[in-house]
Amino acid sequence: MRKNDAVLTRRGFIAVGGVLAASAVHGDAAVSQGSMASAPRVLDPFLGTQGVPLEVGAPCLQAPGETTMGVSWAVSGLAKGVVEYADNPEMSGAKTVRGGGYGLVPIDVNALQVRLTGLRRATKYWYRTITTPFTDYSNIYDAKLGEPIVSSVHSFTTLGAAAKTHFCVINDTHAQFKPFQMAVRKVKKLSPSVCIWNGDATNTTQQKKTAVEIFLNPPVEDRDWSADVPVFFESGNHDFRGSWISKKEEVVLPRDPSERRGDQWDLKWNFALRLGEMALVGLDTGEDKPDAHPKWFGLANFEPYRRAQAKWLEEQFARPEIASARHKVVFCHIPLYADPASADYPHDGVKVDPHDFAFWSRECSGLWGPILEKAGVTLVVCGHTHRFRFDPPSPGRRWAQVVGGGPELGVSSGKPDASRFPTVVEGLVEGGKLRVVVHDVFNNRVVLDKYL
């Protein structure tokens, strides 16, 4: 592979066609405008790149674990890819990992995915992607490869009880890239151990390339935001909408198979892991209306999903390493609590609502709330309502709830509304207390700084 003739395209990607371009010199996530959605495409992309330069996105760390780490990245045409990783930034003695499991290694025209396994807990690693276009795949016997494209070297640290106790949460970004840029700039600055993307990343997703743009290659200045910060994803109600969205694991890696028992295989993004003194637990609240709602055309099966998660949740809190964590923090998209005196309270997602929108989930609250109480959970972090809120513990509920803001920048229904701003929720442990800080990334201020 050649490394000296790097060409950074106007979109900020590394292009390679008849002429190789490699990223090692310039980095793979330079400041740029536009996105891969506007990259040139061949008529049938599965026949190869056919002379059209391949563009490769910055790597995105997904589904982080204590001994595993997922890497996904965007490509503009037919390509194969591997990840190299090492215990040093020079990449000396690097191991090479291919995608998929046994048998055939997957290739794709939109996104590539590799899972690193067998890693050490709470350990820093350096890694890079190597992506090679199939310039011609009209016939397997005569298929031709282009030159490999090498990404910059990035790093991550695996989770575990010895890892640094520090998380960030973003939510309800809704493919609105102006507030998204504000949020991910803050995440990069805070440099947490992990970021939880707590749902409603999307709106309605009809095509894979839409999901690739949102999750892997957003048209923002800090498009490399997740190259060095591993991201947990929990779906919001919008992340179940659209004719393509049932295939989102092709873009957002689910949890590693070793974490999922056969009878819980469909709990694809649920997680319960130690991050230093905390246990982080991710749950999926699903859609915001009953399964029988006519809008779902018989496609909704969330009620059994919530019950299965209740069983899973009890089992997770019984694990010694989770039970022994000083603070247990739960992440899910739709709030689990609304003050009975608030206007939100009647809109609970269990009936066909005249507002057609649930502000909290009575069903999830009923199924999971007693388990959270028994386990001594400190904090539940949610989104969905597009308005920051903090609910301190109340009688019968020992856990506090923080609700992150949405994508609206000081407006609501076309009118000025100072209560609308996107947030980054930050959590760390100081002096044995869980400190939760909520950053308003629109007005650049802190709206909550509390010890729990």
Binding residue for Fe ion (CB under 5 A) from 50, 193, 226, 237? 237
> Which of 114-122, 167-175, 347-355, 442-450 is the region at the interface with Fe ion (rule: CB under 5 A)?
167-175
Answer whether 42's CB lies under 8 Å from 52's CB: yes
Residues forming a β-bridge with 327: 278
Nearer to Fe ion, 347 or 384 (CB): 384
Nearer to Fe ion, 224 or 284 (CB): 284
Quote the least distance from Cβ 392 to Fe ion, whole Å: 23
Q: Is 172 in the site for Fe ion (CB under 5 A)?
A: yes
Cβ neighbors of 197 (< 8 A, separation 6 or more) are 169, 170, 171, 173, 231, 232, 233, 234
> Which of 114-122, 180-188, 197-205, 223-231 is the region at the interface with Fe ion (rule: CB under 5 A)?
197-205
Nearer to Fe ion, 14 or 170 (CB): 170
In the numeric block, which tokens belong to residue 301? 């099966």
Angle between helices 302-318 and 362-375 (to 10 degrees): 0
Q: Is 200 in the site for Fe ion (CB under 5 A)?
A: yes
Nearer to Fe ion, 230 or 236 (CB): 236
Q: Is 287 in the site for Fe ion (CB under 5 A)?
A: no
> Which of 142-150, 232-240, 371-379, 427-435 is the region at the interface with Fe ion (rule: CB under 5 A)?
232-240
The C-alpha atoms of residue 27 and residue 229 are separated, in whole angstroms, by 17
Binding residue for Fe ion (CB under 5 A) from 236, 254, 369, 422? 236
DSSP state of 66: S
SS3 308: helix
Widest CA span of the chain, in angstroms?
Answer: 70
Nearer to Fe ion, 200 or 234 (CB): 200
> Which of 11-19, 133-141, 236-244, 411-419 is the region at the interface with Fe ion (rule: CB under 5 A)?
236-244
Nearer to Fe ion, 357 or 451 (CB): 357
Q: Cα–Cα distances in Å, from 14 out to 42, 81, 111, 149, 327?
A: 18, 14, 15, 7, 43
The C-alpha atoms of residue 361 and residue 172 are separated, in whole angstroms, by 17
In the numeric block, which tokens belong to residue 138? 């009209």
Number of residues that bind Fe ion (CB under 5 A): 5
Nearer to Fe ion, 126 or 360 (CB): 360
> What residues between 381 and 440 interact with Fe ion by CB under 5 A?
384
> What residues between 296 and 355 interact with Fe ion by CB under 5 A?
none
Nearer to Fe ion, 358 or 428 (CB): 358
Half-sphere exposure of 81 (CA within 13 A, CB side): 31
The C-alpha atoms of residue 413 and residue 389 are separated, in whole angstroms, by 19
In the numeric block, which tokens belong to residue 168? 């960030």
Pairing of strands 95-98, 144-145: unpaired
Quote the least distance from Cβ 273 to Fe ion, whole Å: 24
Residue nearest to Fe ion (CB): 200
In the complex, which residues of this chain contact Fe ion (CB under 5 A)? 172, 200, 236-237, 384
